[in-house]
Chain A
Amino acid sequence: MNKLKYLLVGILFGIILTKSQVISWYRIYEMFRFESFHMYGVIGSAVILGIISVQIIKRFKLKDFEGHPIVFIDKQKRFAPALIGGSIFGFGWAFTGACPGPIYILIGNGFLAFIVVFLAAVLGTLVYGLIMHKLPQK
């Protein structure tokens, strides 16, 4: 039952992303045309709050619910994959109007065609796993 907290955080994530409209295809389209502050405001305030939170956790050495130290694992320095993979993700983001998390939320919203998007994304992940050693990894 101790996994229940992840379910609750997931529910919150689903409600907030739906209500803030950041999983609306139209909002993504509008963002990429620089015609609204909406998406930049949501992402920007999330990053600013995130930076402050991370600094507080690090400076005060805060612990999690079970009393373990909260450790931030640095991302590996993989610039070419970040740029190439990031651009491929960007293509998909503009077509589907969804990132991985929002695919689940949109299915919950009742847009059942996103089950297809979900399956295609799983297939994309599978294919990446099969060919990853043939791609630049640094």
Chain B
Amino acid sequence: MSDFFKFDWKEASWNLFFAVGAVIGGYIASHFMMPDQAIDLNPATIESLKAVGVANPGAEYLPGSIFSFENLLTGQGLLFMVVGGFMVGFGTRYAGGCTSGHAISGLSNLQLTSLVATIGFFLGGLIVTHFVLPYVL
């Protein structure tokens, strides 16, 4: 068993409080503080999404037809939710942090590793957005 799984639950329990807080915060914001769920996208962004068949881009907070239980067992659903989620978890652990840990906290503390990680985040995101998404949306 690797050291990775030796975890001091008591010492790290604050993470769980934070995570539960994030769920509650999302609930409060969406139910009481969001009179309008629409996202005011650049018209060019809307056009590019329409061109690949996304209906009403920006009318809701995220493309609900992609991120739904009904779509889970399609190739698209598996790619966006299961494969995507897997890469978020795996990549974050391997890189040693995510957008908060590297791009914001790490850069704030002027860490070179965090700059390299942030470049990686964009490299990966740009490749998928420009070379993969047009074919799978």
Cβ of B18 and Cβ of A9 under 8 Å apart?
yes
Q: Which residues of B lie under 8 Å from residue A84 when comparing CB positions?
A: 94-95, 120
Docked complex Cα distance between A36 and B42 (Å): 7
Q: Which of B36-92 contact A (CB under 8 A)?
A: 39, 41-42, 44-45, 48-49, 57-58, 61-64, 66-69, 71-72, 79-92
| Distance from A36 Cβ to chain B, minimum over Cβ atoms (Å) | 5
A: number of interface residues (CB 8 Å):
94
Q: Report the tally of A-B residue pairs with Cβ distances under 8 A.
A: 383
Give 14 CB contacts A-B under 8 Å.
A12-B25, A82-B117, A83-B116, A83-B119, A85-B95, A91-B125, A92-B89, A93-B125, A98-B88, A99-B99, A109-B61, A113-B72, A120-B81, A120-B84
Which residues of B are interface residues toward A (Cβ below 8 A)? 2, 4-5, 13-15, 17-30, 33-34, 39, 41-42, 44-45, 48-49, 57-58, 61-64, 66-69, 71-72, 79-100, 102-114, 116-130, 132-133
Asked if A68 is an interface residue, CB under 8 A from chain B, the answer is no
* Chain A interface mostly: helix
Q: Which residue of B has the minimal Cβ distance to A133?
A: B2
- Report which of B44, B91, B99, B100 forms a contact with A91, defined as CB distance below 8 A: B91
Cβ of B34 and Cβ of A19 under 8 Å apart?
yes
- Report which of A36, A90, A107 forms a contact with B127, defined as CB distance below 8 A: A90
Q: Which of A20-54 contact B (CB under 8 A)?
A: 21, 24-33, 35-36, 43, 46-47, 50-51, 53-54
Q: When A97-B62, A124-B87 are in contact, do A13 and B22 touch as well, CB less than 8 Å?
A: yes
Q: Which residue of A has the minimal Cβ distance to B85?
A: A120
